[in-house]
Chain A
């Protein structure tokens, strides 16, 4: 409610300074009154004008009266003035005639409004590369060549093919599909995009995997033609390996020509494999993995806002200020800052929010309002009157489950007072409809038969509250994830199951009682664990937002791994920045730095934690509302390649030290060899350490600059200089750095002969074994996580299979941890370069700030509570993993009993399951509720 959404709008004029900008916005006419439109879609049905649908990348058609997509926000139709017959030729108005609410308004005119804002965040996104200019790929000429974004729509259940994969030429299902990587990325020949788009490898693998699932044949026939597979993100390498294991074929080649197949159906692909042999292969369909370009209107935007762009048209930023534009008060984020994947975009969006909040700290809360709800009606004494809303979820549910039959059936169930089927029950207008029906039919319980409560329950709870009901009087029956999605082949049985699910939910909701959400006071203070670059950035970002924080560092000095780094990926010197960062951190009035400090205990929960911290032998208690974990990581100590047996063999960081202390000596070397993936992407550590390729390339460049005569070799598996780091890779090749690829089955061999050091490797391009002399051998050692065992035990947080701390959700909550109130940043989350660490730390500060900004916060209402049956046997005390249950010493009526601490309780229900006499229940999951549900399941279906 503190957001004003201005659609069809653009910025016309912009002036002012940080803290006080004036903006003039042009709001284009929608020709549909948003207050009246009920998104029934009649206007679209009646509209006679068909145009290419840009949302479906032109694969399908839409009308001139349209809605972007089914779940669009706002869910309001619009009329496309460019194509509308009335607006272009003066006749028609069919939509106006049929609109049941009179929402069509052809008198609508452009509006102008002025707003004053303190800061601006630019997130205009990217422009998908248009491969029409590449005549050798035949895009636009050959029917069965599509772009990856078109293919994405073809795969999508809500896309033009309704989720049934068909190729454009003859509308049959393509079996054998090829992906071509780096179309419009890593290419300076026919386009000017020298950078890597960072996401195409992963999305191509994903599309191949999803396609294989769609086609569901024994052996997948999907092939990906690539130069380097760049699966450098968290859990990406595993995804790549799983795909390969499933049979997705990966071919290292850049096909030079695509020809049309017979009768212009399918394609013939010509390519040269790594061994130099020419191949000609037929495919049913070719997908061009198009890159991400800077937005088309980027230069206009930049001129309007007075910010600078880099040579590729992305916003100019620095490694130390990753989302700050060249003009104070204007922040840039998302793919406009650099091509990036969703987790990174979401993280950096929070970073931008943090920067804006820092800049406007004195004005926080000045222009915002709290949401208020109407008074809740008391339903405890009423008979249940249940409303059932059955969702079609577009076709997600309706294509398998007969939703009408389910709705019909629901009408026959006891206490049901109203039933309706909706296309998208989660859409904004259906929320109003539900609220309306609650009032109209005096409903006091609601069942939503749709998708998962995990994502949608809060939405429906809110709807109930707006209608004056307690939010916990809603139950969801998951007839999508638990049903339609998994029983696609059995529509009849699925419909029967949906009926069972609805019957269970109805039986259960009738037993639901209103629950109160617990409020706790928030200690408006943060704890930051780890005094490296990430930790200090998080602490400063919090302190600048006006929150006190305590920074914990286990060693006797701040700085962490950054103390050993020379320059960032863009060549900015680390040492001066680090000195300033440490000075600011230590002198900030709101930051208390504790060195040689170890976290000893942690009790409490979000908003109110208490920890014992041991500082140089003394123990003290610290209370805090949230914590940012930024404990860093370490460099792997190699056991391979004779490491430790020869002082010329070094890891990355050791070589950096060497360069810092003794640059001249290093420069005199005749030959240096780098070996990549030492300890990474191997069976015992199957993840990519993300930063080593760039690090080696950077050092190779430095060596070539020091001594152009030096032979510099980089032995690699895939070069992963993602994003604009690709420029470094290109410069290195231009300067004569020699890159030799090796495979996991043909690893280099290091040997010593006399005083000389040699590396033997097989060159797959020359098809020859090579023996390289090395004055220095640099091992790109993996980034390995610290042992998080203690932290995991204290906070009950999670680590992934590689030992890095887990986020709550990789895309939706990439810096939140699974434990409420904890946030993660830096290397302890996953290996990453410094700019990303800084961005993530500030994003964590933004997310932590959301909690600290409020004096009190609401907790979940699903908590355990003691019933009168408790006799204090204390069986539950031991099983509670959160130590939320204590045995009360004082007896009531001569009986001992337990007490539960709702702030600690997570509602897991172990106590209720353990208790032999129903002495403890969990709200929302009481025995009567579960019993009703189970009995409903076992009851004979009557319809």
Chain B
């Protein structure tokens, strides 16, 4: 199993990142998504694909043997908005239907709950928070009434 990131693979192969995304979407490049915008692909599939694309064996071998980018990750991968991308996919490929995503403004207890509900029922959510971390006022509380539970 090789773990890849679209951007890095694109740079390595000298193609645009959208090209790689398109390969994945069309099934040409049989990778499946995993956490943090990374993709997993079988080693054999990867080598086979590179051969078909006429990619130099050196690069392929270098990539395949390094195990892709499955390097120690020092943090959970938070999905970070790509500043160059525009998230314009419409819901289900329709052009006039609503867009299947929601923006939640405010990362306090209410914003977080709304975000989780929507994300778990099939909607993409952008949670916009003005400070450096979510949690809001509830995170500042010591205990909460009427159960004296820790607010955290």
Bound pair (A, B): yes
Task: Kindly provide the distance from the CB of B117 to the nearest chain A CB, expressed in whole angstroms.
Answer: 4
Task: Kindly provide the distance from the CB of A454 to the nearest chain B CB, expressed in whole angstroms.
Answer: 11
Q: What residues of chain B lie closer than 8 Å to A810, measured between beta carbons?
A: 146-147
Q: What residues of chain A lie closer than 8 Å to B32, measured between beta carbons?
A: 372
Q: What residues of chain B lie closer than 8 Å to A428, measured between beta carbons?
A: 75-76, 78
Looking at the complex, which one of B88, B115, B144, B152 makes contact with A71 (CB distance below 8 Å)?
A: B152
Q: How many residues of A contact B (CB 8 A)?
A: 123
Contact: A67 with B113, CB < 8 Å?
no
Q: What residues of chain B lie closer than 8 Å to A149, measured between beta carbons?
A: 137, 140
Interface-forming stretch among B10-18, B46-54, B89-97?
B89-97
Nearest chain B residue, comparing its CB with the CB of A202 = B145
Given A2-B123, A357-B123, A811-B144, A121 contacting B138 (CB threshold 8 A): no
**A515 contacts partner chain B, Cβ-Cβ < 8 Å:** no
**B6 contacts partner chain A, Cβ-Cβ < 8 Å:** no
Residues 62-117 (chain B) with a chain A CB within 8 angstroms: 72-76, 78-83, 85-94, 97-117
Residues 115-152 (chain B) with a chain A CB within 8 angstroms: 115-149, 152
**B44 contacts partner chain A, Cβ-Cβ < 8 Å:** no
Contact: B105 with A372, CB < 8 Å?
no
**Cα distance A418–B70 in the bound complex, in angstroms:** 22
Looking at the complex, which one of A118, A335, A353, A374 makes contact with B91 (CB distance below 8 Å)?
A: A118
Looking at the complex, which one of A3, A38, A116, A371 makes contact with B35 (CB distance below 8 Å)?
A: A371
Q: What residues of chain A lie closer than 8 Å to B91, measured between beta carbons?
A: 118, 360, 362-364, 366-367
Given contacts A25-B126, A362-B92, 10 further A-B contacts (CB under 8 A): A1-B79, A72-B139, A74-B78, A115-B126, A118-B91, A128-B137, A235-B147, A360-B100, A428-B78, A432-B75
Contact: A206 with B110, CB < 8 Å?
no
Task: Kindly provide the distance from the CB of A230 to the nearest chain B CB, expressed in whole angstroms.
Answer: 12
Contact: B114 with A333, CB < 8 Å?
yes
Q: What residues of chain B lie closer than 8 Å to A359, measured between beta carbons?
A: 98
Interface-forming stretch among A4-12, A559-567, A770-778?
A4-12
**B1 contacts partner chain A, Cβ-Cβ < 8 Å:** yes
Q: What residues of chain A lie closer than 8 Å to B40, measured between beta carbons?
A: 372, 374
Interface-forming stretch among A15-23, A487-495, A871-879?
A15-23
Given A8-B132, A68-B132, A345-B109, A210 contacting B102 (CB threshold 8 A): no
Contact: A429 with B72, CB < 8 Å?
no
Q: What residues of chain A lie closer than 8 Å to B107, measured between beta carbons?
A: 5, 7
Contact: B97 with A363, CB < 8 Å?
yes
Interface core residue of A121, A202, A360 (most chain B CB under 10 Å)? A121
Residues 149-178 (chain A) with a chain B CB within 8 angstroms: 149, 152-153, 155-157, 159
**A75 contacts partner chain B, Cβ-Cβ < 8 Å:** yes
Given A2-B125, A4-B126, A436 contacting B73 (CB threshold 8 A): yes
**Cα distance A715–B113 in the bound complex, in angstroms:** 40
Q: What residues of chain A lie closer than 8 Å to B132, measured between beta carbons?
A: 7-8, 30, 66-68, 72, 76, 78
Nearest chain A residue, comparing its CB with the CB of B72 = A436
Contact: A118 with B120, CB < 8 Å?
no
Contact: B117 with A19, CB < 8 Å?
no
Top 6 A-B pairs, shortest CB-CB distance: A363-B91, A334-B110, A363-B100, A19-B98, A366-B91, A349-B113
**B residues touching A (Cβ–Cβ < 8 Å)?**
1, 32-35, 40, 72-76, 78-83, 85-94, 97-149, 152
Contact: A210 with B101, CB < 8 Å?
no
Interface-forming stretch among A106-114, A255-263, A576-584, A656-664?
A106-114
Given A7-B132, A368-B123, A236 contacting B146 (CB threshold 8 A): yes
Task: Kindly provide the distance from the CB of B71 to the nearest chain A CB, expressed in whole angstroms.
Answer: 10
Residues 71-107 (chain A) with a chain B CB within 8 angstroms: 71-76, 78, 101
Contact: A34 with B74, CB < 8 Å?
no
Looking at the complex, which one of B79, B83, B122, B130 makes contact with A3 (CB distance below 8 Å)?
A: B79
Contact: B124 with A2, CB < 8 Å?
yes
Contact: B79 with A36, CB < 8 Å?
no
Q: What residues of chain B lie closer than 8 Å to A234, measured between beta carbons?
A: 146
**A27 contacts partner chain B, Cβ-Cβ < 8 Å:** yes
**Cα distance A333–B111 in the bound complex, in angstroms:** 8
Q: What residues of chain B lie closer than 8 Å to A75, measured between beta carbons?
A: 75, 133
Contact: A432 with B148, CB < 8 Å?
no
Q: What residues of chain B lie closer than 8 Å to A155, measured between beta carbons?
A: 142-143
Nearest chain A residue, comparing its CB with the CB of B129 = A7
Contact: B75 with A350, CB < 8 Å?
no
**Cα distance A368–B97 in the bound complex, in angstroms:** 16
Contact: A374 with B87, CB < 8 Å?
no
**A223 contacts partner chain B, Cβ-Cβ < 8 Å:** no
**A798 contacts partner chain B, Cβ-Cβ < 8 Å:** no
**A735 contacts partner chain B, Cβ-Cβ < 8 Å:** no
Contact: A209 with B148, CB < 8 Å?
yes
Q: What residues of chain B lie closer than 8 Å to A904, measured between beta carbons?
A: none
Q: What residues of chain A lie closer than 8 Å to B119, measured between beta carbons?
A: 2-3, 368
Q: What residues of chain A lie closer than 8 Å to B80, measured between beta carbons?
A: 4, 34-35
Task: Kindly provide the distance from the CB of B127 to the nearest chain A CB, expressed in whole angstroms.
Answer: 5
**Cα distance A849–B121 in the bound complex, in angstroms:** 7
**A655 contacts partner chain B, Cβ-Cβ < 8 Å:** no
Q: What residues of chain A lie closer than 8 Å to B93, measured between beta carbons?
A: 366
**Cα distance A16–B33 in the bound complex, in angstroms:** 31
Task: Kindly provide the distance from the CB of B66 to the nearest chain A CB, expressed in whole angstroms.
Answer: 15
Interface core residue of A36, A120, A348 (most chain B CB under 10 Å)? A120
**Cα distance A371–B139 in the bound complex, in angstroms:** 28
**Cα distance A940–B134 in the bound complex, in angstroms:** 46
**Cα distance A119–B119 in the bound complex, in angstroms:** 13
Given A118-B101, A364-B121, A9 contacting B129 (CB threshold 8 A): yes
Nearest chain B residue, comparing its CB with the CB of A846 = B117
Looking at the complex, which one of A73, A205, A333, A336 makes contact with B134 (CB distance below 8 Å)?
A: A73
Contact: A350 with B113, CB < 8 Å?
yes
Contact: B98 with A67, CB < 8 Å?
no
Q: What residues of chain B lie closer than 8 Å to A236, measured between beta carbons?
A: 145-146
Q: What residues of chain B lie closer than 8 Å to A436, measured between beta carbons?
A: 72-74
Looking at the complex, which one of B33, B100, B110, B140 makes contact with A367 (CB distance below 8 Å)?
A: B100
**A754 contacts partner chain B, Cβ-Cβ < 8 Å:** no
Task: Kindly provide the distance from the CB of B80 to the nearest chain A CB, expressed in whole angstroms.
Answer: 6
Contact: B106 with A336, CB < 8 Å?
yes
Residues 764-811 (chain A) with a chain B CB within 8 angstroms: 810-811
